[in-house]
Amino acid sequence: MAEESTDLAERFAALEERLRQLEDQQEIARLIASYGPLVDSGSAEAVADRWEPDGTYEVDGWSMNGRAEIVAMVTGATHQGWIEGGCAHFLGPAHITVEGDEAVAVGHSLMVVHNGGEFAVRRATANRWQLRRGPAGWRVTRRTGRVLDGRGESPRLLAALDPGAVEAE
C-alpha cells in the first residue's frame, strides 16, 4: 500500500509540473499576443507594463531601456503617425521554452501598414523574447528584434530557442 501511495504521489507531482509548464507557456503566449493590439491602439503604459521596469527592447540598433523609453516610443510622433495612417503589428505563434522562472520565446512579427488604400507589409522581423517570472507574473527582460532582410543574424536569432542559447549580435 505504501508503494502504491508513493507512486500516486510521484504521478501527481509530475502532473502538477506538467500543468505548471502549460500554464506558464499560455501566460507567456498571451503576453506576447497582447503586444500588437496594445501598441496599435497606442496603449503606451500597458505596452510598457509587459516589460520589467529595467527591461530592454532592442530592434536593429535602436535600444529602449526601461518602461519610460518604451512609453516614449509608443507615444512618439513616428509611431502615432503609423496608428493614424493605419497599422497592425502581427505576432505569429512563438516557440516558448520555460526553465524555472526564466523563459525564452522565439518567433516572427509583421508590421502591416495602410498606404493609399492598400495594405502592405512594412517589415518582417525575427524576435527573441527573454522573460522572467516575478510577483506580477511573467514580464519581458529583453526583446531583441532583427529584420529578416537577408542578414545572417536574423535567422540565427530564430535558431536561439532555449534560455541558455547565445544571443545573436
pLDDT band at 169 (very low <50, low <70, confident <90, very high): very low
Rounded to whole angstroms, the Cα distance separating 167 from 145 reads 11
User: Which pLDDT score is estimated for 168?
Assistant: 41
What is the residue extent of each domain of the chain? 1-160
Residue 84's contacts (CB-CB under 8 Å, 6 or more residues apart) are none
Q: Across residues 31-49, what is the average pLDDT? A: 98
- For the stretch 85-100, pLDDT in tens is 999 999 999 999 999 9
- For the stretch 73-87, pLDDT in tens is 999 999 999 999 999
pLDDT, the chain, mean:
93
In the chain, the largest separation of any two C-alpha atoms, in whole Å, equals 74
Which residue shows C-alpha cell 497592425? 88
Better-predicted residue by pLDDT, 6 or 154: 154
Tell the CATH topology of 1-160. Nuclear Transport Factor 2; Chain: A, (3.10.450)
User: Which pLDDT score is estimated for 61?
Assistant: 82
pTM: 0.90
Rounded to whole angstroms, the Cα distance separating 123 from 152 reads 17
Contacts of residues 75-83 at CB distance under 8 Å and 24 or more positions apart, as own/partner, are: 75/42, 75/44, 79/39, 79/42, 80/42, 82/111, 82/113, 83/40, 83/41, 83/42
